[in-house]
Amino acid sequence: MLELIQQLVADAGVSEEQAQGGAGLLFGLLKDKLSSGDFAQVAEAVPNVEDLISAAPEGGGGLGGLLGGVVSSFAGSQAGNLASLAGGFSKLGLDPEMISKFVPVVLSFLESRGGEGLAQIVSKVLKGD
């Protein structure tokens, strides 16, 4: 888990707390949208994933008026999935458009830990692939 947080800090230019909270929001979305079997693969690839989810801001799904740029950045139903994270990213002091910087780092990390198959499963939720 520390490796993922370090990658997010370096690649997205955020603090460790923001990296943990943002990753927690993404993993919380995955837990909500994936079947329990698919999420079990995520949990196997990311030890202590529940700790990351716990680091996410409470009520992180609030959309408020933050949808604009985020929705235009993502297509299809994934727009709703990722846009639902905008409020949580805002609570972390991050522009909602930072979601697009977190997603590739998380996908790359999951692929390195769980293989291409896991990355494809997760990508369906995060990118609509």
Quick one: pLDDT at residue 81? 73
Domains of the chain: residue spans and CATH: 2-58+65-126 (1.10.490)
User: pTM value?
Assistant: 0.83
pLDDT at residue 35 in the model: 95
Confidence of residue 109 (pLDDT cuts 50, 70, 90): very high
Compare 72 and 106 and report the one with higher pLDDT.
Answer: 106
- pLDDT on residue 74: 42
Give the pLDDT of residue 34: 95
Measured in whole angstroms, the distance separating CA 59 from the mean position of its chain's CA atoms is 15
pLDDT higher than 60, residue 77: no
At 71, the pLDDT band (50, 70, 90 cuts) reads: very low
Judge whether 107 and 119 are in contact, CB under 8 Å. Answer: yes
Residues 6+ apart with CB under 8 A from 80: none
DSSP line for 60-99:
TT--TT-HHHHHHHS-THHHHHHHTTHHHHHHTT--GGGH
**Over the stretch 15-70, which tens digit does the pLDDT of each residue have?**
999 999 999 999 999 999 999 999 999 999 998 999 999 999 986 544 333 333 34
User: What's the rounded mean pLDDT across residues 3-7?
Assistant: 95
Per DSSP, the three-state class of 5 is helix
The answer to whether the beta carbons of residues 13 and 42 sit under 8 Å apart is no
Q: What is the pLDDT of residues 78-94, one digit of tens each?
A: 556 777 889 899 999 99
